Structure 1
Amino acid sequence: MKNYHISKHPSFYAVGLSYKKAEAEVRGKFSLDVLKIDKIILDAKQQGIEGLLTISTCNRTELFGFAQHPYQLIKLLCEHTKGTVEEFQEVAYVYKNHDAIDHLFKVGTGLDSQILGDFEIISQIKQSFSRSKKHQMTNPFLERLCNSVIQASKRIKNETELSSGATSVAFASVRFILNSFPNVSEKNILLFGTGKIGRNTCKNLIKHTGNSHITLINRTKEKAEAIAGKFHLVVKDYGDLQTEIRKSDILVVATGAQLPTVSKSLLHTKKPLLILDLSVPKNVSDDVIELENITLVHLDQLSQITDENLNRRKEYIPKAYSIIEEVKDDFIKWLESRKFAPVINALKNKLMTMKEEELDFHSKKLSDFNQEQAEIVSERIIQKITKQFANHLRKSDADTEDSLALIQKVFQLELKSK
């Protein structure tokens, strides 16, 4: 694989795709499990990329990192998934520097979620950062940014009602079941798979239906038993899947497999069966809808279900954005001081040295030289000069890296090593 040369000051990019433009089938091609995420991080490290944050959920796959060009990150993603660059470009978005920072804040605070106020993504961000840190692929910028997003998320939860009530896709699936079956407590429910959404659906089902007719099946029985123990559920062997489906009124699929695990050939039920596929990629084959007694609903359809509670949350969007701006402003100030301070301090020291030399020269040359007044005037001039440079560097339209390099070159500054 070609190794890219990364310059001293690459840009910060966010590249990704989400439910907004990419259907579940396309998102499935770019989905990442833990092993793939680790491989991407290690590959990026080998290529000399400074830092990387990788997020993959049922709704989105995104890479945040430092690169000379966003294609470096896009190529990384496509090489480790089943999707092509062409497929990615059709539905993708690319954000740079401040826009990339803004995007991570929106994602991490539930404002970009399929269901407004769904904060489950924040745990994904925490896990992603931990994985990158484990492979030494983080830096102070990424750490401070992730902590700032987590802080904003906490404040929005505490200071607004954007996340009032249940807000996840798992809850939407339970709402759908409740609306479809008024007598749901009498129905047999089978949960196939122990993915996070499946577990949350199971928890919500028990909480809102009081249903004791829930059976759990997973390829790894130990995982199923660990979850079943918390909720007092019945666990069956993977080999009993076909038999248990035949007994069920509702089948919830959340296996997290890369290929469909439930196909038309597996279904031999005589009675009506509602199947909820909560997986990306899809874990239920599309051909099951050819069976007349089957109703198939995918995660994306569930996410479109809204209620008064969700609509009311929209009122809190402006407040959420104002909180984000406050937290982000602190982050930007930290970033500016970190980036500009060494050069501005070195410039100030250089000007002070020039001042001392000039004052020493004039004090020896002029008999009536006023040292005190000269000190005051020259220091005020130095303050104004350094302030002018700092203001220029803070302007969003300024090419900061070029400006910093030019200042260092013109004044022949030597920066202290970190």
Structure 2
Amino acid sequence: MTKILFKNGNVFYHGKLQKLDVLIENETITEIKENISQADRVIDLEGKLLTPGFVDIHVHLREPGFEYKETIASGTNSAKYGGYTHLVAMANTIPCMDNIETIKDFEKRVKKDAKVHTYTYSAITKGLNGEELVDFNVNSKENIVAGFSDDGKGVQSKDMMEMAMKAAKSNGSIIVAHCEDEAELEPGACINDGNYAKDHGLVGINNASEYNHVIRDLKLAKEIGNRYHICHISTKETVWALRDARKTNSVVSGEACPHHLILTDDNIKDMNSNYKMNPPLRSKEDLNALIEGINDGSVTVISTDHAPHATEEKNKPIDKAPFGIIGNQHAFSLMYTYIVKKGLIPLEKVLTCMSINPAKIIGIEHDLEVGLKANFVVFDLEEEYVITKESIKSKSINTPFIGTKCFGALKYHVLDGKVTEI
């Protein structure tokens, strides 16, 4: 058996950063302690950060149906270069992930092309149309299915969401909810209903369009007792509702995205549609509430909502272009540079929210622990780089962070013991 020793690391282990060595043999972590000496290969980390690989439970891989935007190969490669070892793809493909045949086909594609461990959500309703539930009993039995989500659209009917929650509970699965009350949306709504929208004659998206469904669903989840997770939280009211709900219901959870933690609608420049995502960049008050929510444990996951679009689509006027930006390749570097280094959230908290917590929510065994598979990454937190179009691994380049300077360069990616030096 080949023994590879990662020596002199600043290792995120049991919730703390510690000066430790990590030994792996083939696929498995065999030792984590100070001063391990015997190995076939020694990699001296010289104090670099070693952390469990990140787990992104909110990614759009676009395959099948939109391969001109992204493929399983390109999207998972982008994730790999961002330090991710696991991810979950959303169901809004063509055909939709609402039936067993499409899910099994996706699994075959993943086995052939994925660069990291890749799962999918089944849709909640057929075609994401909100009118008829998928077969929860059948779809939940597939190992590649991590839960159920209609992400991209909110489930408008309270009765339909109630049936979905009961079906998920009976199958030991989770509802991952895109919360968007379409009754609150005006035609052409494209960015936050704030000063930028008013100053530029754009139709705004109000906070109630998100938190109406959050409040509805959290009440249902308490009554039913099912696992429930809120996608891409953007409003202070959602944070408040989730904080209150978690006081009595520990199986409800929610995620924030780096762009909602770093940018507000005041950062939008030149009507650039690369600042357009759904939910939109909100106010400074909303951003501060998200940061507070992560710090106090109300919001427990940081996911990316990686949403690739072709350049010609994103080059349309901001009110016509599609919603969404890419995010998984640079998520950690952006969080470290613009959140951790500014003292807004501790590094340990960010690492927990990007690795251990999301793994627990979707029910996969993943941690830096003796006896588990070696799925971890190494970053040089002192190395600075600039995000450029040329360095992006995704097929798409739709991000407002082009030209942004970041600290935290990936140096090693370890997937089931296979070491890739970056």
TM-score, reference length from structure 1: 0.24
* Structure ranking higher in strand proportion: 2
Please tell me whether Structure 1 or Structure 2 has the larger radius of gyration of its CA atoms. 1
TM-score, reference length from structure 2: 0.24
